[in-house]
Amino acid sequence: MPVFDFNNTPDTKEPVKCTYTTFASDADHASAEQPILILDNSKKEWKHHSCGVFANQNKQTAFEFDEEGGKVSADILRVDSRFVSLLKWLGENRINVRLSGVNNSEGYCVYRIREIAFGGGTKLSAEDGFLQFMIERLFASDAPEEEIDDEDQEESGDDMKLTSIQSITDFLNCAGRTLPDNIRLWARRNLAVARSHEVSPEERRHAQRALSMMLNIQWKKDYFEAIDPAEARRILDEELYGMERVKQRIIETIIQINRTHTLPAYGLLLIGPAGTGKSQIAYAVARILKLPWSTLDMSSINDPEQLTGSSRIYSNAKPGIIMEAFGMAESSNLVFIINELDKAASGKGNGNPADVLLTLLDNLGFTDNYMECMIPTSGVYPIATANDRDQISAPLMSRFAVIDIPDYTAEEKKVIFSKFALPKILRRIGLSADECIMTDEALDAVIELYSNTSGIRDLEQAAEHIAAHALYKIEVEHVKEVVYDAESVRELLS
C-alpha cells in the first residue's frame, strides 16, 4: 500500500501580491483614454471584446480570459479607485463578463464591462441591469477619500431600483465608500435591523423601505460646473418677456456660481402679484442650473409632520414631503420650488410648518423623523414664490435673496398677448395666424377689458376663448378667416 508523506509540505501559502495601483478619477463615463481598469498585455494583445471572469482577489489579482486553448490570466495593473470593490465582488461571485477595451503602450484599457451568460452569449438587459446600474452610480460618485487596500450601443441600468435586501447589501459592499460618512454608517445600522429576526416584521419593513429610498438617491458632490451666461440669458428670454431687472439678478447669481463653483448661501424669493410668471421663473432657473426640481405647495400643508415625516413607532409611518422630494429627484442636488410661501405660517395642526423650512434653508442638513438621519442639503437650491410680503415671517425672509416681480404694463401685456399667448394657442389647436386676425383696435380692447387684473392668466384665457371661437367659425360656418375688431372682441369677452 503506498504511503504519502506530507512532512515536507509547506504549512502556509504565500500571500497574494496585489499587482495593481489605484488612481482617482472624477470622469462621468469611461473611454479608451479614461478606462475603468488596465490589464497587462505584455505577453499578448487582447481582443477588443474579450470574455472571462475576474479572479478572486484573495487568490490572484488578475482577469482570466476565455481563450481557445483554455483560460489565460492577465494581471490587473491599474484600477479606478471607485471600482475596486465592484471588481472584488465580480471575482468573488465568479460572474461571467465581457470586457470592451483597446491595447496601447500602457496595457489593455477596459472601458466597458457587461455581464454575459455562462456560454458567452449576451444576457437579456434586465439580467445585466444590476451591473450597469452599479457602474453608472459609481461614475456619478466621487472617488473615495482614502485608497482601498484590500463602438457598441450604450447600455443603461434599466432604471433599476435598490429594493431587495440582497441588492441593498451588494450596493453597500460595492459602492458604500462613495456615500457620505453619516449615511454609510446609518445604512449599515438599518441593514442590520432589516436582516434581524430579533425585531418585529414591522421594524424590518420600515428599515428596508428607508434604505431603499436613501440609497436610490445619488449623493453628489456640491461642486457645480460653470454655466454659460449667454445660454442662461437665452433661456430667460425664451421663457419671460421683459422683466429686465429680474433677469439681471438671476444672471448675477449665475456669475457667482461660476466664480465659487458652489450654490449661493441664499435661495431666491420671488414676490409679486398672481399670474406674473413667478413659477415660470423658478422652472427657468432649474433649467439653467441643469438640476432636477421638486415643488412644495405650502397652501396644502396643515401640519409640520407632513414635512418632517412620522416616527417609525407607528405602523403607518412614512417619510415627509421633503424627503420624498429627494427620492423623486433621485439626487441630492436639486432645485426646491416652494410655492405660496406666504401661506406657510397658516398651519392648522400641532405647530407651524414655516418653522420646519428654516432647517432646510440653513443648509446645515435636514433630519426626517422617519429616516432618522441627517440629510445633507448643501446641494439644494430653494426658490420660493409669494404674493403677500407681509404674511412672511422675518426669519424666513432673512434666508432668501428677495426679488420683487412687478406687474406688467399695458404695453407689455399687449405684446405678450399678440406675440406669445395667442400664437401659442393657435399652434396648439391647429390654426394659422392668417385664419385668426386681430386688428390693433381689437388688441387694445382686450387689454382694456383686463386692465384691472394682475398678471397674464386672464389674457391667456381670453386668447383661448378667441381662438376657440375662430375655430368654430371656420369649421361650422366654413369661412376661410375670422377678423376681430374692437366691437366683436367686447361682444365675445364681455
Averaged over successive runs of 10 residues, the pLDDT of the chain (494 residues) comes to: 47 69 90 93 91 88 89 93 92 91 94 81 64 90 66 48 86 89 93 92 92 90 88 87 85 92 89 84 90 87 87 89 89 90 68 80 86 90 90 88 86 87 90 91 90 83 92 91 91 87
Question: How would you label 346-384 residue by residue, b for 16+ Cβ within 10 Å and e otherwise?
Answer: ebeeeebbbbbbebbbebeebebbbbbbebbbebbbbbb
Distance of alpha carbon 372 from alpha carbon 335, whole angstroms: 23
Task: Give residue 211's pLDDT.
Answer: 93
CA-wise closest residue to 451 among 408, 483, 480, 418: 408
Using CB atoms within 10 A of its CB, is residue 317 exposed (0-12), middle (13-18) or buried (19+)? Answer: middle
Task: Give residue 160's pLDDT.
Answer: 57
Task: Give residue 274's pLDDT.
Answer: 84
Phi-psi label, residue 159: left if phi above 0, alpha if psi -120 to 50, beta otherwise: left
Neighbours of 187 (CB within 10 A): 21
What does the angle CA 87 – CA 92 – CA 96 come to, to the nearest 5 degrees? Answer: 70
Per-residue pLDDT reduced to its tens digit, 106-159: 999 999 999 987 655 555 555 678 888 899 999 988 888 765 444 444 444 445
Task: Give residue 456's pLDDT.
Answer: 81
Using CB atoms within 10 A of its CB, is residue 151 exposed (0-12), middle (13-18) or buried (19+)? Answer: exposed
Q: Which amino acid is at 482?
A: V
Per-residue pLDDT reduced to its tens digit, 69-88: 888 999 999 999 999 999 99
Local structure of residue 112 (DSSP, 8 states): E
Task: Give residue 153's pLDDT.
Answer: 45
Task: Give residue 127's pLDDT.
Answer: 61
Which structural domains are found in the chain, ordered by start?
21-124 (no CATH), 179-215 (no CATH), 229-404 (3.40.50.300), 410-493 (1.10.8.60)
Long-range CB contacts for residues 156-160, cutoff 8 Å, separation at least 24: 156/132, 157/129, 157/130, 157/132, 157/133, 158/125, 158/126, 158/129, 158/132, 158/133, 160/129, 160/130, 160/132, 160/133
Alpha carbon 473 to its chain's center: 47
Do 97 and 52 form a contact (C-beta atoms < 8 A)?
yes
Q: Output the furthest CA–CA distance in the chain (Å, rounded).
A: 121
Alpha helices, H only, 125-272: 129-139, 165-175, 181-195, 201-215, 229-239, 244-260
Per-residue pLDDT reduced to its tens digit, 374-407: 988 888 999 999 988 888 888 888 989 998 888 8
pTM for the whole thing? 0.69
Angle between helices 440-449 and 457-476 (to 10 degrees): 130
